[in-house]
Amino acid sequence: MAAPPNIDWNAVIADPRFQTLHRRKQGFLTGLMVFSVVFYFLLPIGAAYFQDLYKVKVWGVVNFGLLFALSEFIVAWVIAFYYSRRAGAEFDRLAAEIAATYEKGGA
Amino acid sequence: MTTQHRRWAVWGLAGVMAVSSGAAFAQGAVADEYRWLTFTVFAAIITLTMYITYLAAKRVKTASDFYTAGGGVTGLQNGWAIAGDYLSAASFLGIAGLISQYGYDGFMYSVGWLVAYITVLLVIAEPCRNIGRYTLSDILAYRNDPKWMRIVGAISVITVSTFYLTAQMVGGGVLVKTLIGIDYEISVIAVGILMLAYVLFGGMVATTWVQIIKAILLVIASLVLVMLVWMPYGFSLPAFLQDVVGDPKVQAKVASLLGDSAKNMSAAELGQRFLEPGLFFKNPIDQISLGMALVFGTAGLPHILMRFFTVPTAQQARKSVVWAMAIIGGFYVLTLFLGFGAAKHVGPAAIAAVDPGGNMAGPLLAQYLGGGADSFLGNFMLAFVSAVAFATIVAVVAGLVLAAASAIAHDLYVGVYHGGDVVPPQQQVRAARIATVVVGAMAITIGIAAKGQNVAHLVALAFAVAASANFPCVLLTLYWKRCSTGGIVLGMIVGTVVAVGLTLVSPNVTYPKAVREAAQKVLDGEPAKRSAIDVALASGDAQAAAQANLDLAALDKAVKKAQDDMAKVEGKDTSIVGLAKPLFTLKNPGIISIPLGFLAVLLGSLLFRDKRSEALWPEVYARQNTGILASKATSH
């Protein structure tokens, strides 16, 4: 690494703003990650063990299984959109504030 | 970029053109009289991408330019480039083919390829942008012992890239041969030389643009086909699928897949079965194992990871994943229509007749929609789709070679051999170019040497190694305070060795004894079947005779295959690792190797504490979350 300005990294992670960012981000990301993994694996597990449910016709010949598979795409997009909105509105602002303080202070 | 370099570029272009036009032809999907069409479209794409490479070459002066396009790619551009890097021939042609052959299961398979990007988006892309530079090892080396990290990181990157590369080269060679009938060896060399021209002269700048152009062409081609397939139904999903399941060709395919259990099913039931799970995936545990490798492995693929170093900020990295997810997901939804459309219009059996894996579903659908094999438009569309398939292979291979070359030049040569001393920029770029030539030559050699081998499982293996070794190491070094050098070294070794080892003793490998027994069974049953057919032929019943003729053709084919198999395993009793039958019954090792990879990092970190890893934790954690100094990291 090229010599960066001297930044007290322990002070950064002890900063209350960093603690807030860390707490909110961690909770949010863990929740979304667990939800998306569980929702994804429901599809193959259901296809193997709940075939009768997958065969139920819902919309003409379109059955539950097909709609469930399509919903995986919608859910993935919604998660991406939801995360980037929250990150853009909240996490980025906190991160930029912290960065501004310490990059200036250390240089 | 000197005049000499530019002259080389022109010669390279001329060479590829000469090789392509002078190639020896065999029979391909494109009819002889329309082959010039394919080459015209090929030439247009090659000329455009070569011109971009020529422009890009002027901008490649430093290692940062070569590896990461100087960090100057925008989120939108990078999103398209990720899609171009990721949508390999396997997903472009393979998934449409799988849907055309097995219906629902093929579509379900595509889901994991998109969901994988949620992992990339949430936990990998932004932190890696904030603390990384050119390679996977840069991330690991930030807080852990640099020399060790560069060695294990480079080994893992080269392993994953080589598996993936081999599958692409062999798959690409077969594909080009099937589409336009160029000799296998010549298509492998053409792909290799073209890719080398892009990477060598244009580095990441040219590679990025080749990937963007390819992704745009792919999306345009798919959109046009889907419009043509879906429009007659007024864009109604049930009306379209109603027609698919009502098609006798589809019903016949389901009947042949189900065998005896189809005897009591009506035609309507058989057709509907095409939209239900279980025609392709027989073992749910294996499928979950594959899903795990996809969902966690994508975040550890070196050529995808590398793309996040090309954008200037974490925000742009995030934006690029969101764009990539929109493009990749949208493409897979289109694939649903391509696959089902091909099943209805071309027919599963006709597709499998050209390529048993079903890979020709998309191209044959294009030909049909344009007006069929004898029409100009039909052949133009086939030519266009074939050219896009070719561009697809070249673009993916370019990304892979760049990732492997960066591991050799940046990690091993600059990082380990020079021990982190300052290496002048020109020397770094030269090292990168030499490594590119070495990896490119290796790709061509392996591609030719592996001719005729079944390499389909190598892509799944690349994902499994990435998920079992790279992913746990990157994730834990970013998020776990106690993670240490010992943990990463152990995790990389255990993850790679277990994933590769389980695959070597799995059903993916050929077991000569089992092959011989299966072939013997076919040969033993032959006389009885032949006499039954003779009886039917002699009976005078026209319908029975017609069926008997079909059976005869099928029997001849099966006997021929059995004889070929017999010859292939002649004198061999055990698999390449000396086994008579598989020790591990799953085809995908992920479900075992991924947890073991995580466990190894945890254990290794707890057993071997590392002061440097712990002392640098606050810095890594602060930087990956806030992006402090991230913009400065790109400018040196």
| Residue B21 banded pLDDT, cuts 50, 70, 90 | very low
Digit-coded pLDDT (tens) for A42-78? 999 999 999 999 999 999 999 999 999 999 999 999 9
* Helices B35-57 + B146-180 axis angle, to 10: 150
- Cβ neighbours, 10 Å, residue B66: 32
Question: In the prediction, which pLDDT does B544 show?
Answer: 81
Q: Assess whether B140 and B198 both reside in one domain.
A: yes
Interface contact flag, B626 A12, Cβ < 8 Å: yes
Is the pLDDT at A1 greater than 70? The verdict is no
Q: Is B595 on the interface with A (CB under 8 A)?
A: no
Digit-coded pLDDT (tens) for B99-142? 999 999 999 999 999 999 999 999 999 999 999 889 999 999 99
* Residue B454 belongs to domain with CATH number: 1.20.1730
Residue type, B9: A
* Strand-pair partners of A59: A62
In chain B, % of residues over pLDDT 90: 63
| Residue B407 banded pLDDT, cuts 50, 70, 90 | very high
First vs last C-alpha separation in chain B: 21
Is the pLDDT at B448 greater than 80? The verdict is yes
For residue B242, the chain A residues in CB contact (below 8 A) are: 60-61
Cα maximum dimension of chain A:
66
Phi, psi dihedrals of residue A57, rounded to the nearest 5° = -80, 130
Is the pLDDT at B477 greater than 50? The verdict is yes
Is the pLDDT at A29 greater than 80? The verdict is yes
User: What mean pLDDT is reported for chain B?
Assistant: 89
CA distances from B186 to B16, B172, B214 (A): 10, 11, 22
Residues 6+ positions from B80 with CB-CB distance below 8 Å: B211, B212, B215, B216, B323, B324, B327
Residue at B604 is within a domain: no
Kindly identify which residue of chain B lies nearest to residue A94, measuring between CA atoms. Answer: B626
Higher pLDDT, B4 or B84: B84
* Angstroms from B235 CA to nearest CA on chain A: 14
| Residue B268 banded pLDDT, cuts 50, 70, 90 | very high
| Residue B501 banded pLDDT, cuts 50, 70, 90 | very high
* Angstroms from B269 CA to nearest CA on chain A: 11
Distance, in Å, from the CA atom of B78 to the CA atom of B69, rounded to the nearest integer, reads 11
Q: What share of chain A is helix, strand, coil (3-state, %, to 5)?
A: 80, 5, 15
Question: In the prediction, which pLDDT does B253 show?
Answer: 94
| Residue B12 banded pLDDT, cuts 50, 70, 90 | low
Interface contact flag, A73 B107, Cβ < 8 Å: no
Interface contact flag, A65 B104, Cβ < 8 Å: yes
Interface contact flag, B625 A66, Cβ < 8 Å: no
Averaged over B376-398, what is the pLDDT?
89
Higher pLDDT, A3 or A103: A103
In chain A, % of residues over pLDDT 70: 93
Q: Is A80 on the interface with B (CB under 8 A)?
A: yes
Averaged over B571-599, what is the pLDDT?
91
Q: Is B118 on the interface with A (CB under 8 A)?
A: yes
* Angstroms from A17 CA to nearest CA on chain B: 11
Q: Is B276 on the interface with A (CB under 8 A)?
A: yes
Is the pLDDT at B502 greater than 60? The verdict is yes
Averaged over B324-334, what is the pLDDT?
97
Closest to B130 measured CA to CA, from B319, B307, B314, B322: B314
Closest to B333 measured CA to CA, from B178, B229, B403, B252: B229
Tally of structural domains, chain B: 2
Question: In the prediction, which pLDDT does B4 show?
Answer: 56
Chain centre distance of CA B571: 34
**B566 burial type by CB count under 10 A (0-12 exposed, 13-18 middle, 19+ buried):** middle
CA distances from B4 to A34, B9, B10, B11 (A): 55, 9, 10, 11
Question: In the prediction, which pLDDT does B451 show?
Answer: 84
Question: In the prediction, which pLDDT does A30 show?
Answer: 96
Q: Is A82 on the interface with B (CB under 8 A)?
A: no
Question: In the prediction, which pLDDT does B634 show?
Answer: 43
Burial profile B90-125: b = 16 or more Cβ within 10 angstroms, e = fewer: bbbbbbbbbbbbbbbbbbbbbbbbbbbbbbbbbbbb
Q: Does the predicted interface ipTM exceed a cut of 0.90? A: yes
Residue type, A102: Y
Interface contact flag, B275 A63, Cβ < 8 Å: yes
Question: In the prediction, which pLDDT does A5 show?
Answer: 63
Residue type, B493: I
Q: Assess whether B287 and B200 both reside in one domain.
A: yes
Is the pLDDT at B29 greater than 80? The verdict is no
Q: Assess whether B158 and B25 both reside in one domain.
A: yes
Residues 6+ positions from B469 with CB-CB distance below 8 Å: B156, B300, B491, B492, B493, B494, B495, B496, B499, B597
Residue at B608 is within a domain: no
Distance, in Å, from the CA atom of B346 to the CA atom of B172, rounded to the nearest integer, reads 23
Question: In the prediction, which pLDDT does B426 show?
Answer: 87
- For A48, the closest of B117, B242, B284 (CB atoms) is B284
- For B333, the closest of A49, A73, A81 (CB atoms) is A73
Chain centre distance of CA B458: 9
| Residue B152 banded pLDDT, cuts 50, 70, 90 | very high
Q: Is B268 on the interface with A (CB under 8 A)?
A: no
* Residue B260 near residue B287, CB atoms below 8 Å: no
Q: Is A77 on the interface with B (CB under 8 A)?
A: yes
Residue type, B520: Q
| Residue B178 banded pLDDT, cuts 50, 70, 90 | confident
Interface contact flag, A59 B238, Cβ < 8 Å: yes
Question: In the prediction, which pLDDT does B6 show?
Answer: 52
Phi, psi dihedrals of residue A62, rounded to the nearest 5° = -70, 120
Interface contact flag, A76 B104, Cβ < 8 Å: no
For residue B235, the chain A residues in CB contact (below 8 A) are: none
Q: Are strands A57-59 and A62-63 parallel, antiparallel or unpaired?
A: antiparallel
Question: In the prediction, which pLDDT does B13 show?
Answer: 52
Digit-coded pLDDT (tens) for A72-82? 999 999 999 99
* Residue B271 near residue B246, CB atoms below 8 Å: yes
Kindly identify which residue of chain B lies nearest to residue A12, measuring between CA atoms. Answer: B622
Higher pLDDT, B406 or B42: B406
Question: In the prediction, which pLDDT does B578 show?
Answer: 85
Mutate to test the interface with A, among B118, B283, B286, B334 (most CBs of A within 10 A): B118
Cα maximum dimension of chain B:
89
Is the pLDDT at B636 greater than 50? The verdict is no
Distance, in Å, from the CA atom of B26 to the CA atom of B32, rounded to the nearest integer, reads 9
Distance, in Å, from the CA atom of A16 to the CA atom of A20, rounded to the nearest integer, reads 6
| Residue B375 banded pLDDT, cuts 50, 70, 90 | confident
Is the pLDDT at B635 greater than 70? The verdict is no
Averaged over B218-226, what is the pLDDT?
95
Distance, in Å, from the CA atom of B630 to the CA atom of B138, rounded to the nearest integer, reads 14
Is the pLDDT at A107 greater than 50? The verdict is no
Mutate to test the interface with B, among A73, A77, A101 (most CBs of B within 10 A): A73
- Which structural domain, as residue segments, surrounds residue B549? 516-568
Question: In the prediction, which pLDDT does B543 show?
Answer: 79
Kindly identify which residue of chain A lies nearest to residue B619, measuring between CA atoms. Answer: A9
Q: Which helix (H) or strand (E) holds B60?
A: none
Question: In the prediction, which pLDDT does B216 show?
Answer: 95
Higher pLDDT, B550 or A94: A94
Averaged over B20-39, what is the pLDDT?
67
Question: In the prediction, which pLDDT does B365 show?
Answer: 95
Q: Which of A64-78, B29-43, B48-62, B467-481 has the lowest mean pLDDT?
A: B29-43
Q: Is A6 on the interface with B (CB under 8 A)?
A: no
